[in-house]
Structure 1
């Protein structure tokens, strides 16, 4: 080999590529839990599986001063308490609604700072924003949150690690209404939830159209009494995650 010939950079490029692939896998790999069959079989606690005679009722994306109060009134009429996964930015925009959530006996949990997609690894920002949201919930609502559900249900490696560091327990859902879709009706919401409604399940709904089709929250509100009545006809109690008895 000639003395003036530069050494090959191929091993270094391979090492960098391997590190990049490993980093991408660590980031995206855990997001496979978004798939319901994966959660149901391998991660029942993440699927929100609790006491077989209980249904956990949860709402995402609020609080929203234009829509959330209607849900609070409806839940009062139904004598039901629920868990609200709030966005930190939304909570600081409507702190009076956040305080009302807690005052009416509902559980307040963390949905993240805002509703963005997590395609790129941002571990430091994930940690900073989850901590900031948890602190906002504690200050505004008067209690330390226990649960975390990431936007879109995409639980990346960074978000999972950040949640554990902040002391939050990730939980997704086992049944959802898909009411965020354009064209959804109260009937389709009840049907979507009903297909996967089992004792011990966790139901995902939304109390705002912040990340959904305009006006979709009205569809959810119309469907809510029938959903609760369907659970009760099956002998199931409806309540928040704190009463759900998730193991693990």
Structure 2
């Protein structure tokens, strides 16, 4: 093959790779919060969306459900399809408690390393599993590690899923996390209209990391109440395109 042809092929491949990876820029939180409010999950200023990733986990998730029930709070749970498939009864328990269930993909692997077909199949499998278990098609999608790609955006659109990330997180997946550190990290970036990312499972986190999250949750809910913010799921957050949840 001629060098000029090889150069053209290499240039085309580089362009495709760049197009695939371009949405990764949204992983940078400060930029996302300023320039991509819908993707960041910025909603009504008197509301904070509470979201959990990586479940359901029979060891830890029921403890979160109990605490949320005691506080009269509902949340959005971004489930991994592989975890949901192992605990179908727990998925139904989450839904029966009035919480919103969303898609975190089938396997917790970076979509940046997956092509269009593999990305679509991963999201479709997770969406269909959740729909079968709950009797309701999920609306929201959050990619593992918060890494969006062009293939992820296109696949989500085909599947009727709306991507949403977060405005503040607790860094609760590390072995050094404590209830106090989770609280400080979340509240440092939290404002009315924000979306909180926490984890109700340690399937991709340090062992027992969920205990720090659970320990921080009461003080986080108190913080929101002290600021006059209602806490609830994304479907009450006022994001554009939320089905059947318009607020005036």
1:156 Cα offset (Å): 1.1
CA-atom RMSD, angstroms?
A: 1.0
1:149 Cα offset (Å): 0.2
- Bigger Rg, structure 1 or 2: 1
- TM-score with structure 1 length normalisation? 0.95
Q: Which residue of 2 aligns with 1:39?
A: 32
1:27 Cα offset (Å): 1.4
Q: Which residue of 1 aligns with 2:103?
A: 110
Alignment of 1:110-129 (within 5 A): 110-129=103-122
Query: Are 1:133 and 2:126 an aligned pair?
Result: yes
Q: Which residue of 1 aligns with 2:70?
A: 77
Q: Which residue of 2 aligns with 1:16?
A: 9
Q: Which residue of 2 aligns with 1:5?
A: none
Contact 2:111 2:143 survives alignment (8 Å) = no
- CA–CA distance in structure 2, aligned partners of residues 56 and 226 of structure 1: 16
Query: Are 1:148 and 2:137 an aligned pair?
Result: no
Question: SS at 1:164's partner residue?
Answer: helix
- CA–CA distance in structure 2, aligned partners of residues 134 and 191 of structure 1: 34
- CA–CA distance in structure 2, aligned partners of residues 165 and 54 of structure 1: 29
Deviations 1:19-38 (A, max 9, x none): 11111111111011000122
Contact 1:56 1:202 survives alignment (8 Å) = yes
Q: Which residue of 1 aligns with 2:193?
A: 200
Please list every run of 5 or more consecutive structure 2 residues that lacks an aligned counterpart in the other structure: 242-248
Question: SS at 1:61's partner residue?
Answer: strand
- CA–CA distance in structure 2, aligned partners of residues 69 and 150 of structure 1: 23
Which of 56, 61, 66 lines up with 2:59 in the alignment? 66
1:161 Cα offset (Å): 1.1
Contact 1:27 1:121 survives alignment (8 Å) = no
Query: Are 1:218 and 2:211 an aligned pair?
Result: yes
Aligned residues between the structures: 241
Please list every run of 5 or more consecutive structure 1 residues that lacks an aligned counterpart in the other structure: 1-7
1:204 Cα offset (Å): 0.1
Query: Are 1:27 and 2:27 an aligned pair?
Result: no
- TM-score with structure 2 length normalisation? 0.95
